[in-house]
Amino acid sequence: MTAASPPEILRAPLVVEFPFTRSLGPVQSAFLTGLREGVVLGVTTADGKVMVPPVEYDPVTAEEIRDLVEVGTTGTVTTWAWNGSPRPNQPLATPFAWVLVRLDGADTALLHALDAPGPEAVTTGMRVRVRWAAERTGAITDIACFEPAGDGEPGTQAAPHSGEFADAVTGIVAEARLDYSYSPGRAQTAYIAGLSEQKTIGERCPSCHKVYVPPRGACPTCGVATTDRVEVGPAGTVTTYCIVNIKAKNLDIEVPYVYAHIALDGAGLALHGRIGGIPYDQVRMGLRVEPVWTEGGRFPDHYRPTGEPDADYDVYKELI
Amino acid sequence: MARYAREVAVVAFAQSDHLRRTDELSEVEMVMPVLHQVLAATGLKAGEIGFTCSGSSDYLAGRAFSFTMTLDGVGAWPPISESHVEMDGAWALYEAWVKIQTGEADTALVYSYGKSSPGSVRDVLTRQLDPYYVAPLWPDSVALAALQAQALIDAGETDEAGLAAIGARSRASAGANPHAQLSGAVAQGEYQVAPLRTGDCPPIGDGAAAVILAAGDVARRLCERPAWITGIDHRIEAHSLGLRDLTDSPSTRIAAEHAGVFEAPVDTAELHAPFSSQEVVLRKALGLAGDVAVNPSGGALAANPMMAAGLIRIGEAAARIHRGESDRAVAHATSGPCLQQNLVAVLEGDRA
């Protein structure tokens, strides 16, 4: 047992990506299909307000709205903010203004980007027009951005529109990628650092004395920090297992194989790992196993039988 | 007639130091000292708490169900009654308050935390926006706040000097707050997204907070001067920014009416206004008089740990009542872009 030493801070890139496929209702479908066709549609509420971008339900009465209208592609800036340092994925890579634009014929405003030479060229109340994207797919980004329009350009009134287009867009794929730098914290850092020396480091709860592997820094029973480090294993006992018959994508292991809970000697709970070096149908509860490390591996590749006699059930029954 | 079935008070509050990075700590390692501190203040053990509720967001950590790991810091065996909101902890407090009102618990532990340091929080927060019309443009949190700030300036409600003064006052007040991330004189700095400069924006950081609620005589036993929650309410506005008057916050005003803010003067206001411009909106919505101490803790402009900063406003207001520095305080928490969702609570101490 050793006292915790100051941690060496580990970091690793962590990428979260989710291309959500989202279906569209009739209103959103008409709006986004309209953008693809170079037409901006809104909806009219019961009291005659025109909402662009369109909502499906009246925000005041919650009544369903389906009356589509076509509005202008020119409009008026209702507020703005100068973005001197565009961030990744934003509509323009050069400095631009974020704007809320009330399109001609609409009573509400649409958020988008305004391409302008500098903040001195932008004012609330200025006239702007849609700049369409070169390639349009039925997405809000079909509006590439807005651009300044002359004060003389005529505005248009909202006009009824069927909302019907050939080959309507019925869904979007909402791409998102977020980049993180993951740091595992004190307890897991010690565990990961131990693995690099082919040791398995657990932590003991100072209150109930259970040894957690891998440690997360807290005893979930007592709610206190687990600060005493303990090396466990290397050998352990299979407490329970399953036979995997479905090959996972990108996994270079032949099926069937055995995945097991393994209580390493000295540990207060079982961790899990693959069992190798024995036919899958001969793995059993109580089997004594030890880790097999591959060259350069940062964790055990799998566990294999030690050849010892099986552990007595009473020895590991509390750890199942 | 009493507003609610039961008297419920904040009896203890604790928070971490709020720091730009806490790479050496996992979330549970960050939260646990705060849990121990708030329990110690009452003498309660985790097993004696009637209900536990937490607030956090997996998007900050970039890992699914990360909140389940912090539950390890509570001590959840034997099994406890527990819940989680994917929101600021102020909303977890609301859930806990409801639990006590229903008579299902007499005490509650509420905690919340956020580590913004692993990711780019400005970009992460774009994922809470409407996924059809807004999120594909990736407008970051500062950009959306800047649109609101410009609308206020256009309406003649403030100007850039007025905004800078709010930031300066907040950080000066934070000089008395040892947990604050930024305090004292901080340069107003360059434009982040004009008209907002660095000094108008909250620091990005990691932190945690915890509160213990208790009902009636239990509260009196646990705390010398309980901070009674005499009113609490929360409201949300339509998600589409272009539908809203960004210079106003009707949701805050309605929540305040229902919480009884306007029934008597308040002496303290802890407002969750991460951007200086948002304080202008909130002061108006809450009708705060000039002599009210606004954010004596420094507020979110001095420390804005995501998902905890709103709970901290309630905790700071309560702590002033505990210390006898306030008799009637309003605490506010927000969530979402441009003050989309707002929670308002009135806290009162017994008068001598």
CB A24 to CB B132 under 8 A? yes
Among partner residues B23, B120, B242, which is closest to A183 by beta-carbon distance? Answer: B23
Percent residues over pLDDT 70 in chain B: 99
Instruction: Give the nearest partner residue to B242 out of A111, A176, A178, using CB atoms.
Output: A111
What is the tens place of the pLDDT at every residue in B151-166? Answer: 999 999 999 999 999 9
| C-beta of residue B170 within 8 angstroms of C-beta of residue B201 | no
- Say how far apart CA A201 and CA A188 lie, in whole Å: 9
Q: Who among B32, B123, B242 is closest to A225 (CB)?
A: B32
Mutate which: A107, A111, A126, vs B, most B CBs within 10 A = A111
Backbone angles phi, psi at B122, to 5 degrees: -60, -40
A:B CB pairs within 8 Å: 187
| Residue-wise pLDDT tens digits, B262-313 | 999 999 999 999 999 999 999 999 999 899 999 999 999 999 999 999 999 9
Q: Tell me, what DSSP letter sits at residue B247?
A: T
Residue A235 pLDDT level (bands cut at 50, 70, 90): very high
How distant is the Cα of B213 from the closest Cα of chain A, in angstroms? 19
By CB atoms closer than 10 A (0-12, 13-18, 19+), residue A117 is: exposed
| Kind of pairing between the strands at A302-305 and A288-292 | antiparallel
Selecting from A14, A24, A220 the residue whose C-beta is nearest the C-beta of B75 gives A220
Measured between beta carbons, the chain A residues lying within 8 angstroms of B124 are 178
Whether B154 and chain A come into contact, CB under 8 Å, resolves to: yes
CA torsion, ordered A93, A97, A98, A99, to nearest 10 deg: -140
CB-based contact, A118 to chain B, within 8 Å: no
Distance from CA of B255 to the nearest CA of A (A): 17
> What residues form DSSP beta bridges with B196?
B193
Handedness of CA B129, B269, B13, A183 (dihedral sign): positive
55-94 in chain A: CB under 8 A from chain B: 55, 59, 78-84, 87-91
What is the ipTM, given to two decimal places?
0.94
State the Cα torsion A218-A222-A223-A225 to the nearest 10°. -40
- pTM of the predicted model as reported, rounded to 2 decimal places: 0.94
Q: Note the helical H segments in A174-312.
A: 185-195
| Per-residue model confidence as pLDDT tens digits over B126-151 | 999 999 999 999 999 999 999 999 99
Q: What is the residue type of A234?
A: P
What is the rounded end-to-end Cα distance, in angstroms, of chain A? Answer: 25
Q: A101, A110, A178: which to substitute to probe chain B, counting the most B Cβ within 10 Å?
A: A178
Give the C-alpha distances (Å, rounded to integers) separating B18 from A11, A143, B61, B292, B306. Answer: 21, 41, 16, 26, 11
Mutate one of A179, A183, A191 to test the B interface: name it (highest B CB count within 10 A). A183
| CA B221/CA B210 separation, integer angstroms | 19
Q: Evaluate the CA torsion angle B134, A28, B59, A178 in order and state its sign.
A: negative
Lookup: tokens for A3: 């006292």
Q: What is the DSSP letter of A84?
A: S
Is B72 close to A218, i.e. CB distance below 8 A? yes
The verdict on B254 touching A (C-beta cutoff 8 Å) is no
High-pLDDT (> 90) share of chain B, %: 92
Interchain CB distance below 8 Å, A183 and B72: no
The Cα of B59 is separated from the nearest Cα of chain A by a number of Å equal to: 9
CA distance B96 to B91: 9
Q: Residue A180: closest CA among chain B residues belongs to which residue?
A: B119
**B206 and A CB contact within 8 Å:** no
The 8-class DSSP code of residue A64 comes to B
Predicted pLDDT at B230:
98
Per the CB < 8 A criterion, the answer to whether A79 and B154 are in contact is yes
- The pair phi, psi for residue B156, each rounded to 5°, is 75, 20
Q: Does B194 touch chain A (CB under 8 A)?
A: yes
Nearest residue in chain A measured CA to CA from B131: A174
Alpha-carbon gap, residue B318 to B225, rounded angstroms:
10
The structure tokens 């930024």 sit at: B182
Give the C-alpha separation, B306 to B293, whole Å: 23
From the list A79, A87, A179, the residue facing B246 with the nearest CB is A79
Q: What distance in Å separates the CA atoms of residue B119 and residue B319, rounded to the nearest whole number?
A: 32
B242-269 tens-digit pLDDT? 999 999 999 999 999 999 999 999 999 9
On whether any CB of chain A is under 8 Å from the CB of B337, the answer is: no
Beta bridge partners of B109: B52, B212
**pLDDT for the residue numbered A6:** 54
Q: Mean pLDDT throughout A268-294?
A: 95
Burial of A5 (0-12, 13-18, 19+ CB in 10 A): exposed
All residues of chain A having their beta carbon less than 8 Å from the beta carbon of residue B77 are 220-221
What single letter denotes the amino acid at residue B101?
Q
**What pLDDT does residue B1 have?**
46
Look at residue B15 in the predicted model and tell me its pLDDT.
Answer: 98
Inform me whether the C-beta atom of residue A9 falls under 8 Å from chain B C-beta atoms.
yes
Which pairs from A83-89 meet CB under 8 Å and 24+ separation? A83/A113, A83/B143, A83/B193, A84/B191, A84/B193, A84/B194, A87/B122, A87/B123, A87/B138, A87/B140, A88/B123, A88/B138, A89/B123, A89/B138
pLDDT for A7: 52
Q: Is A14 within 8 Å of chain B by CB?
A: yes
CA distance A165 to A109: 24
For residue A251, the model assigns a pLDDT of 81
Burial of B33 (0-12, 13-18, 19+ CB in 10 A): middle
